[in-house]
């Protein structure tokens, strides 16, 4: 039986990533282990909100643990109070905005950015409640042109 699931990010500079995620996303560092041989972050746990956590470490290429060098194929979706404000804060702190905030068919104002460590974050806040059938109708209309 699975009890929890945590995203585990690999980054090129663990200390800088912890600083960035705490400043920009408001994460709290719960704990970290520093490699005594070279100072790399061997493991860190960060909390974004109650029940919303992720872990990270520096890359360890000698162990097959690599940081992203391009698109990761994974995106994190954060529900926030103000999408525009978080996207702006991320951009100010060096993130690449890959989608400016805009109202979406599924009832959210959503934007996206890639953080300086190669990870993509989708950020949204609710603008309306949309029932599944209405969401499907809007999706069909959008993809049909």
Concatenate the DSSP letters of all residues of 26-87 into one string.
Answer: --EEEEEEE-TTT--EEEEEEEEETTEEEEEEE-BGGGTB---SS--S-EEEEE-S-HHHHH
- CA 112 to CA 127: how far, in whole Å? 17
pLDDT category, 135, cuts 50, 70, 90?
very high
User: Strand order in 8-11's β-sheet?
Assistant: 8-11, 52-58, 41-49, 28-34
Query: What CATH number is associated with residue 111?
Result: 3.30.720.110
Is a pLDDT exceeding 90 seen at residue 4? no
pLDDT digits 0-9 by tens, 22-52: 999 999 999 999 999 999 999 999 999 888 8
Final residue in a domain of this structure, among 65, 89, 120: 65
When divided into structural domains, the chain yields a total of: 2
- How confident is the model at residue 74, as a pLDDT? 87
């Amino acid at each position: 039986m699975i009890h929890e699931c945590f995203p585990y990010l690999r980054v090129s500079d663990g200390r800088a990533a912890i600083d960035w995620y705490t400043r920009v996303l408001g994460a709290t560092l719960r704990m970290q282990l520093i490699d005594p041989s070279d100072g790399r972050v061997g493991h860190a746990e960060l909390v974004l909100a109650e029940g919303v956590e992720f872990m990270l470490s520096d890359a360890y290429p000698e162990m097959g643990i690599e940081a992203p060098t391009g698109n990761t194929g994974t995106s994190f979706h954060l529900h926030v109070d103000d999408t525009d404000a978080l996207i702006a804060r991320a951009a100010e702190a060096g993130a690449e905005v890959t989608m400016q905030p805009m109202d979406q068919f599924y009832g959210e104002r959503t934007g996206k950015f890639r953080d300086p460590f190669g990870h993509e974050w989708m950020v949204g806040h609710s603008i309306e409640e949309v029932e599944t059938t209405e969401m499907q109708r809007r999706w069909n209309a959008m993809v049909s042109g």
